Amino acid sequence: MFTDLIGWASSVILIATIAQQVWKQWKERSAKGVSKWLFLGQVAASLGFTVYSAMKRDWVFVCTNSVMVVNALVGYLILRHNRRRA
């Protein structure tokens, strides 16, 4: 039980941290200093980790990496939007 609590707490911290960065990118309407490869790499890695975690039946990481995929896709779309505006 304690082990799962550590995993879920860490998951929340990671997701909140990355989501805050995507929100900042949206709010500032800037793509300066942001690489598209950051988001594309995150999508690829998080998809792989989601599949791996599902195969291992590690639901903390299935949930975390599934949210990270969505977060990376949103970040990438914001990046493209901001670059088109510039």
In this structure, which topology does domain 2-85 adopt according to CATH? Monooxygenase (1.20.1280)
Q: What is residue 80's predicted lDDT score, i.e. its pLDDT?
A: 94
Residue 86 pLDDT > 80, yes or no? no
pLDDT, tens digit, 9 for 90 and up, residues 53-64:
999 999 999 999
Q: What is residue 34's predicted lDDT score, i.e. its pLDDT?
A: 85
Q: From residue 66, how far is each of 28, 39, 60, 84 by CA, in Å?
A: 26, 14, 10, 28
pLDDT, tens digit, 9 for 90 and up, residues 4-54:
899 999 999 999 999 998 999 999 998 888 899 999 999 999 999 999 999
Q: What is residue 17's predicted lDDT score, i.e. its pLDDT?
A: 92
Angle at 48 between CA 45 and CA 52, to 5 degrees: 135
